[in-house]
Structure formats: structure tokens, C-alpha cells
């Protein structure tokens, strides 16, 4: 089997990798279920306070949003199919929500087959995913800070 065929088939994972993939999929699903349980705050931020968490410290101190402001609200809108409201709450959160929704079946399918579907080396795609989340989050934060 050549390198291209190996990557198409996906890198093999052992029982630990399969366990991690299953757990990650379950964790992501539980996050979406929690978001479905939480009614989104109409302000576009603050939904996390319904979990007993405090208000955003940065918003209280500087009257400016932190990079994560609106993230929980975004997920609460996303699970309800309210994608426009989700984007207004936090556009970076919408990117993360879409990515995580796609990761659930990928994790479980990879765990079931014992191979990382379509991925030969997991580190470059993981780096791209995390970097895209971080860059979009940073851009959103900069725009919101100066808006």
C-alpha cells in the first residue's frame, strides 16, 4: 500500500485511541445537549449565567466583550437551527459549533473502524482546526473590541 492509499484508508488507532475518539464524541454530544437545555439569552450573551456562572469579568471591568462572549448563547441558538442568531452571538462560536457537529460522527466512525477516516497523520488537521478557531475568534474579538 502506498502513502496515498494509506492516508485515504486512515491511520490505524488502537483501543486507547478508539476509547478517546468515543469519549470525545460523547463529550461533544453532551455539550450540544446542554446547549439544547439552555434557553439562549436574548441579549446575545450571558446564557452561561443560567448555569450559575458569574457574568463576564472583562465585560464588567472594561465594558468590552471577551473573546468567548456569546459562545454559550451561540451554541444554544445553533442547536435550535437559529444560525443567524448564532452568528450574531459569536461568529467564531458558529465555526466551532459546525466543526464540533461534524466531529461527532467522524469520531464515532473512526472509533468503529479503528482508523482515522481520511487522515494519515492527525496533527496537521488538528493544528489547522485549532488555528482556524483561534484566528477567527481573535478577529471577532478585535472587531467587537473596537466596534
- Residue 74, all three cell numbers: 451561540
Instruction: State pLDDT tens for residues 103-119.
Output: 999 999 999 999 999 99
Range in 8-17, 65-74, 94-103, 111-120 the model is least confident about: 8-17
- What one-character DSSP code corresponds to residue 121? S
Cβ pair 17, 120 in contact under 8 A: no
Taking residues 77-106, what's their average pLDDT?
Answer: 98
The 3-class SS string of 86-107 reads HHHHCHHHHHHHHHHHHHHHHH
pLDDT at 2: 47
Cross-strand pairs, 134: none
Which of 116, 91, 87, 146 has its CA nearest to residue 11?
Answer: 116
Amino acid at each position: 500500500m502506498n502513502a496515498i492509499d494509506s492516508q485515504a484508508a486512515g491511520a490505524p488507532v488502537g483501543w486507547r485511541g478508539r476509547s478517546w475518539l468515543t469519549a470525545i464524541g460523547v463529550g461533544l454530544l453532551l455539550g450540544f445537549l446542554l446547549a439544547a437545555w439552555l434557553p439562549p439569552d436574548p441579549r446575545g450573551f450571558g446564557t452561561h449565567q443560567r448555569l450559575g456562572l458569574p457574568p463576564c469579568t472583562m465585560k464588567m471591568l472594561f465594558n468590552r466583550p471577551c473573546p468567548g462572549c456569546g459562545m454559550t448563547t451561540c451554541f444554544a441558538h445553533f442547536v435550535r437551527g437559529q444560525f443567524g442568531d448564532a452568528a450574531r452571538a459569536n461568529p467564531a462560536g458558529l465555526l466551532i459549533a459546525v466543526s464540533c457537529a461534524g466531529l461527532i460522527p467522524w469520531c464515532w466512525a473512526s472509533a468503529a473502524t479503528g482508523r482515522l477516516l481520511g487522515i494519515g497523520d492527525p496533527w496537521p488537521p488538528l493544528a489547522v482546526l485549532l488555528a482556524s478557531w483561534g484566528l477567527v475568534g481573535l478577529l471577532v474579538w478585535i472587531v467587537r473590541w473596537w466596534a
